[in-house]
């Protein structure tokens, strides 16, 4: 199967790979797995007092589409409010990366990672 140019670009030059310090109270973590293939994605968001995502990092153990999807969302969420980030849909990701049908679940993993990180933030705040 051929990957799109955008997938290859993110795969070869992934943006924002890495982790923030675990004990940083401004950091929320979303860790999700894809039952279909066993791939795992970790997304961390650094969130300001006013609920704006200031920075994002990811680590993904998975296919090229999963890596490209997570790289893309780290760029998209920066500067967004949590509400805006939560509104990012897997269909936005798969359209941007021109993912074929068998790779749609890779973009769903990325959407789930954003939601999981936001849930983590809310449970830390509560
Ligand atoms: Fe290997 Fe996605 S699990 S290609
Ligand atoms: Fe499973 Fe891409 S996340 S094949």
- Residue 23: exposed, middle, or buried by beta-carbon count in 10 A (0-12, 13-18, 19+)? exposed
Domain count for the chain: 1
Q: How far apart, in whole angstroms, are the C-alpha atoms of residue 51 and residue 121?
A: 10
What's the pLDDT tens digit per position in 111-120?
A: 999 999 999 9
Per-residue pLDDT at 57: 98
- What per-residue confidence (pLDDT) applies to 1? 61
Ligand 2: nearest atom to the Cα of 38: 1
Q: Over the stretch 2-24, which tens digit does the pLDDT of each residue have?
A: 799 999 999 999 999 999 997 89
Closest ligand 2 atom, residue 41 Cα = 3
* Residue 102 alpha carbon, nearest atom of ligand 2: 4
Specify the residue with its C-alpha closest to ligand 1, atom 4: 63
Residue closest via CA to ligand 1's atom 1 equals 63
The pLDDT tens digits of the residues spanning 23-65 come to: 899 999 999 998 888 999 999 999 999 999 999 999 999 999 9
Supply the pTM of this predicted model. Answer: 0.93
> Across all residues in the chain, what is the average pLDDT?
95
Answer whether residue 70 shows pLDDT above 70: yes
The confidence score (pLDDT) of residue 116 equals 98
How many angstroms from the chain centroid is the CA of residue 47?
15
Structural domain of 58: 5-125
Ligand nearest to the CA of residue 33, numbered in listed order: 2
pLDDT of residue 53: 98
CATH code for the domain of 106: 3.90.1010.10
Q: Is 37 a catalytic residue?
A: yes
Residue 39: Cβ within 10 Å count: 19
**Residue among 63, 106, 109, 110 flagged as catalytic:** 106
């Amino acid at each position: 199967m051929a990957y799109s140019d955008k997938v290859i670009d993110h795969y070869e030059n992934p943006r924002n790979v890495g982790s923030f310090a675990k004990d940083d109270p401004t950091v929320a973590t979303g860790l999700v797995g894809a039952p279909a293939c066993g791939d795992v994605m970790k997304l961390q968001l650094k969130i300001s007092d006013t609920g704006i995502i200031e920075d994002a990092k990811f680590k993904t153990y998975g296919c090229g589409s999963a890596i490209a999807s997570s790289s893309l969302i780290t760029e998209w969420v920066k500067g967004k409010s949590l509400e805006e980030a939560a509104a990012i849909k897997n269909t936005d990701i798969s359209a941007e990366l021109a993912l074929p049908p068998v790779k749609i679940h890779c973009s769903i993993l990325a959407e789930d990672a954003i939601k999981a990180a936001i849930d983590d933030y809310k449970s830390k705040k509560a």
